[in-house]
Structure 1
Amino acid sequence: MTLPAASPLCHDRRWINEAIRIIEADYNRSADTHLVPVAMPAFPGVHLYLKDESSHPTGSLKHRLARSLFLYALCNGRIGPGMTIVEASSGSTAVSEAYFARMLGLPFVAVVPRGTAEAKIDAIAFHGGRSHFVDRPGDAYGEAERLARELGGVYLDQFTYAERATDWRGNNNIAESIYAQMAREPHPVPAWIVCGAGTGGTSATIGRFVRYRRHATRLCVADPAGSVFHRHWADRSITALDRCDSRIEGIGRARVERSFLPEIVDEMIAITDAQSIAATRMLSMRLGRRCGGSTGTNLWAVARIAERMAAAGETGSIVSILCDDGNRYASTYFDDGWVAASGFDLRASETELAARLGW
């Protein structure tokens, strides 16, 4: 599809109109993602559902965010014809943004940590983007800003704009989709929704939507034990760590991102990397296909909440998110050699989770 020729003005309205039409047409061709029930035999009164975001065209929850970021930047006059799009990312957001940049005929550069899963780097390249590596994850922000200036482009900055780019009142955001799909279930209003936090945009959207629609649902954010988010939630004076000591890609940060809104989170649960990886592998076996590490983080938090609900004699539903396609982690979380070399012993975590869930 060809965009109209650009005028000398960067913010050419004809170009912007056509860019928005192209993105909206792509959305119109897409189906919603599935809500997958997952049995937890240990808790027969608690029903678990996973919102399968891996079925998006770019394979992850970040497809929603990338679309919103592009539309937000276009409507705010930040993107014009020929501009290079730059993003700091641990991989999945960059994959999705490369998809939309190519759709608009724009160059794309992802600033990613050097240890990012190779499959994500390959996916960025597949969609026409290129990767620019940094040795320390915390350096990605400043390097993305520098590159955008040098290239005369725009740094989309998911960490700042994620919470405001998505229309939290509706417009088929992930929360609205979840409640629509739950309408005919035994417990249509979830007792809890569990998600992770990378930018904080998903938890912000869900938390705001729950309040706007006056639902009784509570929001739990599952966070890697080495991340700052759960520390900041408990003590607002803690805003940064020297580093995020976690191998779970896509969630957890060393600094509190601007899009993370702790005030609308009801609970945070810190999960170790070994627990996350064990849960990822176990759930993948139950589903018959692989899911990513952040989904394992979510599942472990779900198990704790379900256990607590059952102990209190409560029944209800819990909805969490299957964040991305686990094939991206074939060389890490699903590789026994990588797991051993990284110092993880998963046996205790696997045994404990199997006992908790009745698996």
Structure 2
Amino acid sequence: MISAWAVEAIARLDDEMEQAGSTPLRAFPLPAGWGVRLWLKDESAQPTDSLKHRLARALFRQAIAAGQVVEGATVVELFGQVGECPRWVVVGAGTGATSAAVGRHLRSHDLPGRLAVVDPENSAYFPGWASGAADYSTGMPSRIEGIGRPRMEPGFAPDLVDLVVPVPDAASVAAARQVRQVTGLAVGGATGANVWGALELITRMRARGIRGDVVTVIGDAGPRHLRTCHDDTWAEDRGLDWRPHAARLERLLDGGGLW
């Protein structure tokens, strides 16, 4: 039997969630006539400026309730804001918890949307997913904060993922800078990877004449990223030449040039 303390604790978490409200869904500008919209679910608007706030709240609630499932809140809110199920939902994978929650929601509600996971250099998720090796390991750390792992993590559910998109680290830097240019938000490389992967999928959709929405996530944003992927010296010290990727983005977004 659940205790009075647990009831009160869960109620407080629920109150905090209600007061926080929905995080914004920001439109990423694409050329007119593409027939595709790209939406950025801005989790940096959470009280702690991070997607991890929502996950931490859900994990605390689950632990207190001792078995009550609370995963998938982000997805339910997101779909309500878009108005219909997007063609693709694009997320990164650190522990794999977010992609697993999204995938479970899509499957359990029999939704037509598909799930793509972006993966940086050195990470085990793309080769592990592609090869079907649940114990795949690269032994190398990711250079993109928040996503990528040297081995397949237990929380990652490859059977719920429709596609894993490998993203060059320098491309993540270029896309993060592009997001800052259009939104004013100093996002990290993980968000850059999300947007780069989303644009890859949009390019494929256009080539096949497919219209619809693609949704990805702004995981966090803040001044600290100005000292990393938005800083030329930081990028150059790590051998990340973002300029060719930035030029590629500019050609694409200025008029739909070849990806």
TM over 0.5: yes
Distance across 2 between alignment mates of 1:256 and 1:263:
13
Aligned: 1:27 with 2:17: yes
- Kindly indicate whether the alpha-carbon contact (under 8 Å) linking 1:195 and 1:321 is maintained by their aligned counterparts in 2: yes
- 2:218 counterpart residue number: 322
Distance across 1 between alignment mates of 2:61 and 2:158:
26
Mean alpha-carbon deviation: is it higher for 239-248 or for 205-214? 239-248
- 2:35 counterpart residue number: 45
Distance across 1 between alignment mates of 2:157 and 2:127:
13
Specify every segment of 5 or more residues in structure 2 that has no aligned partner in the other structure, as ranges: none
Aligned: 1:174 with 2:78: no
- Secondary structure of 2:123 counterpart: coil
Aligned: 1:276 with 2:172: yes
1:42: Cα distance to partner? 7.3
- Secondary structure of 1:304 counterpart: helix
User: Residue 229 of structure 1 is aligned with which of 125, 137, 140?
Assistant: 125
- 2:91 counterpart residue number: 195
Distance across 1 between alignment mates of 2:209 and 2:136:
39
Aligned: 1:60 with 2:50: yes
Decide whether aligned partners of structure 1 residues 43 and 257 sit closer, same or farther in structure 2, where only a CA change above 3 A counts. farther
User: Residue 311 of structure 1 is aligned with which of 197, 207, 211?
Assistant: 207
User: Residue 17 of structure 1 is aligned with which of 7, 13, 16?
Assistant: 7
In the TM superposition, 1:129-148 aligns within 5 A as none
- Kindly indicate whether the alpha-carbon contact (under 8 Å) linking 2:124 and 2:138 is maintained by their aligned counterparts in 1: no
Distance across 2 between alignment mates of 1:43 and 1:255:
41
Distance across 1 between alignment mates of 2:16 and 2:217:
23
Aligned residue type for 1:179: F
Distance across 1 between alignment mates of 2:184 and 2:241:
23
Q: 1:164-219: per-residue Cα shift (whole Å, max 9, x none)?
A: 96434xxxx11111111111xxxx32111111111111111111111222221111
User: Residue 267 of structure 1 is aligned with which of 156, 160, 163?
Assistant: 163
Decide whether aligned partners of structure 1 residues 28 and 313 sit closer, same or farther in structure 2, where only a CA change above 3 A counts. closer
Aligned: 1:219 with 2:115: yes
- Secondary structure of 1:36 counterpart: strand
- 1:159 counterpart residue number: none
Decide whether aligned partners of structure 1 residues 189 and 18 sit closer, same or farther in structure 2, where only a CA change above 3 A counts. closer
Aligned length: 255
Distance across 2 between alignment mates of 1:220 and 1:42:
25
Q: Which runs of 4+ in 1 moved over 4 A?
A: none
Distance across 1 between alignment mates of 2:193 and 2:7:
40
Specify every segment of 5 or more residues in structure 1 that has no aligned partner in the other structure, as ranges: 1-11, 78-163
- Kindly indicate whether the alpha-carbon contact (under 8 Å) linking 2:172 and 2:193 is maintained by their aligned counterparts in 1: yes
Q: Indicate the RMSD between aligned Cα atoms, in angstroms.
A: 2.1
The one of the two structures with greater contact order (alpha-carbon pairs below 8 A, sep at least 6) is 2
1:14: Cα distance to partner? 4.1
Aligned residue type for 2:179: L
Decide whether aligned partners of structure 1 residues 43 and 290 sit closer, same or farther in structure 2, where only a CA change above 3 A counts. farther
- Kindly indicate whether the alpha-carbon contact (under 8 Å) linking 2:95 and 2:155 is maintained by their aligned counterparts in 1: yes
Aligned residue type for 1:275: A
Q: 1:135-174: per-residue Cα shift (whole Å, max 9, x none)?
A: xxxxxxxxxxxxxxxxxxxxxxxxxxxxx96434xxxx11
- Secondary structure of 1:330 counterpart: helix
Distance across 1 between alignment mates of 2:217 and 2:70:
17
How high is the sequence identity, in percent, across the aligned residues? 39
